[in-house]
Amino acid sequence: MTTPTPTASLYAPRLPIFPRRVSGFYRRLKWTLLVVTLGIYYITPWLRWDRGPEMPDQAVLIDMANRRFYFFMIEIWPHEFYFVAGMLVMAGLALFLFTAALGRVWCGYACPQTVWTDLFILVERWIEGDRNARVRLHQAPWDLRKWRLRITKWVVWLVIGLLTGGAWVFYFTDAPTLLVDLANFSAPPIAYITIAILTATTFVFGGFMREQVCIYMCPWPRIQAAMMDEDTLTVAYRDWRGEPRGKGLRRRAAAEEAEASIRAAGPQIGPRSPVIPMPGMPSGLRVPKNTVAKGDCIDCNACVNVCPMGIDIRDGQQMACITCALCIDACDEVMEKTGQPRGLIDYIALSDAPAEAAGQPPQSVWRHVLRARNLIYAGLWSGIGIALVFALFLRPEVEMTVAPIRNPTHVVLADGTIRNAYDVRVRNKQGTEQIFDLSLDKPGLIITVEGSETDKITVPADSQGQARVYVDAPAGSPLAKSARSDLRLWVTGLESGERAAVETNFTGKGTE
Ligand code: SF4
Ligand code: SF4
């Protein structure tokens, strides 16, 4: 009988991460962006914009029921989806540009997952204390104090999640009306379902999954390597300056001993997160054993302790690194205390590493940023943006489509008149109701609107009107006798004077 060979488990449980508080330029920048982005998200649905008495006054509104997107003075109709497509392409190009120039700057500063996680960690720190207090609480048994702190934190997280989900639904209908309806439990069920889903995802993603979302769920880290190259400025460790690391002139073995005691004291729970290298990027610095420690890195682990991803930037470029730059702040603080120059961890282009290691200055930031690839991205982005702005301001206030009825192509009335029928749609993009006059470019033809004595169509504000229109050619007239004639149909707003025309044709008896 053969004994089954034990296989290694492919499952690795999540190691809790307790980022330490840090201060510095990048932390302040991140706080500023957090306030700005969250402010924009929560406040925008409450901004008003006067578009006229018959139009919604919400500045930013995705009106699914009426198939409109309002953005301040801009209104996008369904047939103008190319504007949305253009903006999405611009957003993609901006992401390419920023990633090629500054690495994962989107992930580190503006991604909703990063922003909400930062907010959740801030709440956690307010309630449970900084890193060491949180580590102790994590290790403590579930007593009354631990329950009290945990429940308080979860409740605040849930409120943030609720506000997040609540703000989202306000983008889709008039916010003040929906707020009243929600409070009266008379809002549509989909509003409650959406809020519940977004509350739950915000609570779980920001509170419990955090770095797991970035490492395992988000596709962006996997494709960013294609966007970055050796000229990209990204957060990196100047190993040529920092290594061999250690405290003073002691041997590496002693340094490892010290690190073990630091870890045992609680700053790190379990081993560090595994190093997942970025494809094509150098990683996995290894310091030979028994090396005299004379680099600038004192191996204090401050950069590791502030990292929201639980990684060590000294291991090289890693997929888990969101380039939040907090390790730069932490290390700069240490460098100031030890009297060393700042920038042991910094935004660095890998192409500068050999020169810097040889004691030469790096290339200027602009040489890295203003290179062909980035200029192409910027050029494409600007070109599409300019085209969209022109298209936006040149688009007409009135549009018309004309569909000739082909079954039958024409009818002969009792007096010999030849009649053609057309389905006409008129889009009135103005904020007031308009009466439109229909006319033709050929004299002698008579135009009438079905169900009306006139040749007028009334279209409410910001709507599309539709009518069956008849064009009659008197018996014996050239158009009545011709097989097919070109025809131009005009529509003119009686009040606004706005006009639109469509080329179509008229089918006669074909006796000529
Ligand atoms: S190593 Fe950590 S702290 Fe440093 S930039 Fe990357 S994610 Fe941020
Ligand atoms: S914070 Fe700076 S000095 Fe401290 S371990 Fe990190 S790189 Fe070394």
User: Which residue's CA is the closest to the ligand 1 atom numbered 7?
Assistant: 321
Q: Which atom of ligand 1 is nearest to the CA of 328?
A: 4
CA 130 / ligand 2 centre spacing (Å): 19
CA 203 / ligand 2 centre spacing (Å): 33
ipTM: 0.96
* Nearest to 135, CA basis, from 302, 266, 261: 266
C-beta of 428 in contact with ligand 2 (< 6 A): no
452 in the Ramachandran plot: left (φ > 0), alpha (ψ -120 to 50) or beta? beta
- Determine phi and psi for 474, rounding to 5 degrees: -55, 150
Q: Which atom of ligand 2 is nearest to the CA of 237?
A: 7
C-beta of 128 in contact with ligand 2 (< 6 A): no
CA 299 / ligand 2 centre spacing (Å): 5
C-beta of 311 in contact with ligand 2 (< 6 A): no
DSSP structural state of residue 351: G
C-beta of 242 in contact with ligand 2 (< 6 A): yes
C-beta of 298 in contact with ligand 2 (< 6 A): yes
Please tell me the predicted confidence (pLDDT) of residue 2. 60
C-beta of 331 in contact with ligand 2 (< 6 A): yes
User: Which residue's CA is the closest to the ligand 2 atom numbered 4?
Assistant: 300
Cα–Cα dist 82/72, whole Å: 18
* Nearest to 422, CA basis, from 402, 408, 441: 402
- Both tokens of 363, joined, read 């290339």
Segments of the chain scoring below 70 in pLDDT: 1-6, 248-293, 512
C-beta of 326 in contact with ligand 2 (< 6 A): no
Cα–Cα dist 437/99, whole Å: 54
| Ligand minimally distant from the alpha carbon of residue 243 | 2
Helix (H) or strand (E) holding 101: helix 81-102
Cα–Cα dist 174/186, whole Å: 14
User: Which residue's CA is the closest to the ligand 2 atom numbered 7?
Assistant: 297
CA 345 / ligand 2 centre spacing (Å): 8
| Ligand minimally distant from the alpha carbon of residue 118 | 1
User: Which residue's CA is the closest to the ligand 2 atom numbered 3?
Assistant: 297
Q: CB within 6 Å of ligand 1 — which residues?
A: 235, 306-307, 309, 311, 313, 321-327
Cα–Cα dist 12/16, whole Å: 12
CA 329 / ligand 1 centre spacing (Å): 10
C-beta of 301 in contact with ligand 2 (< 6 A): yes
Residues present in the chain in total: 512
| Ligand minimally distant from the alpha carbon of residue 30 | 1
**Ligand 2, residues 297, 311, 337: which to mutate, most atoms within 8 A of Cβ?**
297
Outline which parts of the chain fall under CATH 2.60.40.10. 398-507
Q: Which atom of ligand 1 is nearest to the CA of 322?
A: 7
Q: Which atom of ligand 1 is nearest to the CA of 310?
A: 2
**Ligand 1, residues 326, 329, 344, 348: which to mutate, most atoms within 8 A of Cβ?**
326
List of residues 6+ apart from 469 with CB closer than 8 A: 421, 422, 423, 424, 438, 447, 448, 449, 450, 489
User: Which residue's CA is the closest to the ligand 2 atom numbered 8?
Assistant: 297
C-beta of 306 in contact with ligand 2 (< 6 A): no
Q: What CATH class is the domain 398-507? A: mainly beta
**Ligand 2, residues 294, 300, 304: which to mutate, most atoms within 8 A of Cβ?**
300
User: Which residue's CA is the closest to the ligand 1 atom numbered 8?
Assistant: 324
Please tell me the predicted confidence (pLDDT) of residue 268. 42
pLDDT per residue over 21-42, tens digit each?
999 999 999 999 999 999 999 9
Please tell me the predicted confidence (pLDDT) of residue 260. 57
**Residues forming a β-bridge with 492:** 437, 499
Please tell me the predicted confidence (pLDDT) of residue 271. 40
CA 258 / ligand 2 centre spacing (Å): 14
Please tell me the predicted confidence (pLDDT) of residue 13. 80
DSSP structural state of residue 432: S
C-beta of 135 in contact with ligand 2 (< 6 A): no
CA 139 / ligand 2 centre spacing (Å): 26
Identity of residue 350: L
